[in-house]
């Protein structure tokens, strides 16, 4: 099953599959996000404003990759917000068929009502920064900017042309990153800065599937920017990436005799990422744009066997692909998986009845979807994918061309 939509709906699909599909049936879920962008004081304001308007308001904000929360360094916030207001005023709302239209309607009356209620709450609290006037006919929501303290103020994804703005001090960058990661979502992220070390620092710390530097954070291109999130934002593998199409093939299921060596009371703890390492490849793209796809180990996969020998074989398969594994030395009640550690996946090569119980227990979890693997894992099961796209011309010139000319 391949699904694109909300996280809540993906979890419902996961639950239905656990009841009605073969245990281990594949689910590819590309879900939503509370996508953020950070603009620091070194950013080119004109470029940042264009990227913000495109990311927040194109397609009436109805993209899973759209910008939801903008963090502006307080040193430049007043000027950037003033420029954003001017850029918003230039937007044309109307029929999407008209080439002059910048912002069309939202999908239906239910969506319009929910977004309008969110805006009215902000209005009552005096947090509206700026808004346009929407057409009276059709399910339109006017582009709106709302002041927030930070991304934690967003209780859910507002799937429309609504931009939430927060400010931060130069010394608070890491706190901002921690707050973004704490949402549990990880789809897209934007950064505007002209400091190379900051690009490196932020892109290494932020937990998002697609990271965009000095450009907008929408419109991923197949082959250049493989697309997909992590955590609450999706299962992977990335659409348009090297690991995507193989996921649509039938898995090589393995079934071994259902025997246990012993019993144990608790699931093993999830180890840290001490063995984490990046593998990075450069992807093609237009001149003046860098596209790099990296993989890093997912949280450790739980190898349940059955039996010590099978669990050891599973662990060898995981580590051979550059992942981390935890071996279960005995049997345990399947329901322990519902509230247990957030493993990257669970391997079980035993009987189908037990597999069904494991699948059902995993489907009842809150948080990221954890797959049950009935056969050998592939690379995308043990390693997460992250993509970084950088507009290399943002510092005032194309470094690649300048270097070639020299």
Residues acting as catalytic residues: 30, 64
Residues 6+ apart with CB under 8 A from 276: 296, 297
Question: In whole angstroms, what is the distance from residue 154 CA to residue 40 CA?
Answer: 22
**Under 8 Å between Cβ of 23 and 374:** yes
Main-chain dihedrals φ then ψ at residue 164, nearest 5 degrees: -100, 135
Kindly report the backbone phi and psi dihedral angles of residue 318, in degrees, each rounded to the nearest multiple of 5, phi listed first: -70, -50
- Rounded CA-CA distance 30/26 in Å is 13
Q: Residue 133 in 3-state DSSP?
A: coil
Measured distance between the N- and C-terminal CA atoms of the chain, rounded to whole angstroms: 52
To 10 degrees, the CA torsion angle through 102, 105, 107, 110? 140
For residue 369, give both structure tokens. Answer: 């979807």
Helix axes 196-205, 173-182, angle to 10 degrees: 30
Token pair of 132, please?
């346009």
Alpha carbon distance 324, 382 (integer Å): 7
Please tell me the distance from the alpha carbon of residue 374 to that of residue 92, in angstroms, as a whole number. Answer: 52
DSSP state string for 308-332: HHHHHHHHHHHHHTT--EEE--SB-
How many CA atoms, within 13 angstroms, populate the side-chain half-sphere of residue 357? Answer: 9
In three-state secondary structure terms, 116 is: helix
How far is Cα 313 from Cα 267, in angstroms, rounded to an integer? 19
Cβ–Cβ under 8 Å, residues 55 and 216: yes
**What b/e sequence results for 365-391 when a residue is b if at least 16 CB atoms lie within 10 Å of its CB, and e otherwise?**
beebbbbbbbbbbbbbbbbbbbbbbbb
Closest CA to 270 of 206, 345, 329: 345
């Amino acid at each position: 099953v391949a699904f694109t939509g909300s996280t809540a709906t993906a979890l419902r699909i996961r639950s239905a599959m656990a009841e009605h599909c073969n245990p281990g049936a594949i689910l590819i879920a590309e879900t939503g996000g509370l996508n953020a962008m950070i603009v620091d004081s070194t950013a080119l304001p004109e470029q940042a404003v264009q990227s913000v308007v495109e990311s927040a308001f194109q397609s009436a904000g109805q993209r899973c990759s759209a910008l939801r929360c903008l963090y502006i360094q307080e040193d430049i916030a007043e000027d950037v917000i003033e420029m954003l207001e001017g850029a918003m005023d230039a937007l044309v709302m109307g029929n999407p068929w008209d080439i002059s239209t910048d912002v069309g309607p939202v999908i239906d009356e239910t969506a319009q009502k929910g977004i309008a209620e969110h805006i009215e709450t902000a209005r009552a609290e005096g947090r509206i920064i700026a808004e346009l006037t929407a057409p009276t006919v059709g399910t339109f929501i006017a582009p709106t900017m709302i002041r927030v303290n930070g991304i934690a103020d967003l209780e859910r994804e507002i799937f429309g042309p609504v931009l939430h703005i927060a400010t931060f001090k130069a010394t608070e960058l890491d706190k901002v990153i921690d707050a973004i990661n704490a949402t549990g979502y990880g789809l897209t992220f934007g950064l505007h800065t002209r400091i190379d070390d900051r690009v490196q620092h932020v892109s290494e710390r932020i937990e998002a599937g697609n990271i965009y530097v000095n450009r907008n954070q929408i419109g991923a291109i197949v082959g250049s920017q493989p697309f997909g999130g992590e955590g609450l934002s999706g299962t992977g593998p990335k659409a348009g990436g090297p690991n995507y199409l193989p996921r649509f093939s039938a898995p090589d299921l393995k079934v071994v005799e259902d025997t246990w060596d012993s019993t144990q009371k608790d699931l093993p703890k999830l180890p840290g990422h001490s063995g984490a390492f990046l593998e990075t490849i450069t992807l093609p793209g237009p001149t003046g744009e860098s596209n790099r796809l990296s993989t890093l180990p997912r949280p450790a996969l739980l190898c349940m066997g059955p039996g010590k020998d099978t669990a050891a074989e599973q662990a060898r398969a995981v580590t051979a692909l550059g992942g981390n594994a935890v071996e279960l030395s005995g049997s345990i009640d399947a329901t322990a998986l519902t509230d247990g550690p957030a493993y990257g996946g669970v391997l079980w090569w035993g009987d189908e009845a037990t597999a069904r119980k494991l699948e059902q227990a995993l489907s009842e979890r809150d948080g990221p979807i954890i797959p049950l693997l009935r056969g050998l894992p592939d690379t995308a099961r043990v390693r997460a994918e992250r993509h970084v796209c950088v507009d290399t011309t943002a510092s005032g010139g194309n470094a690649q061309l300048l270097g070639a000319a020299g």
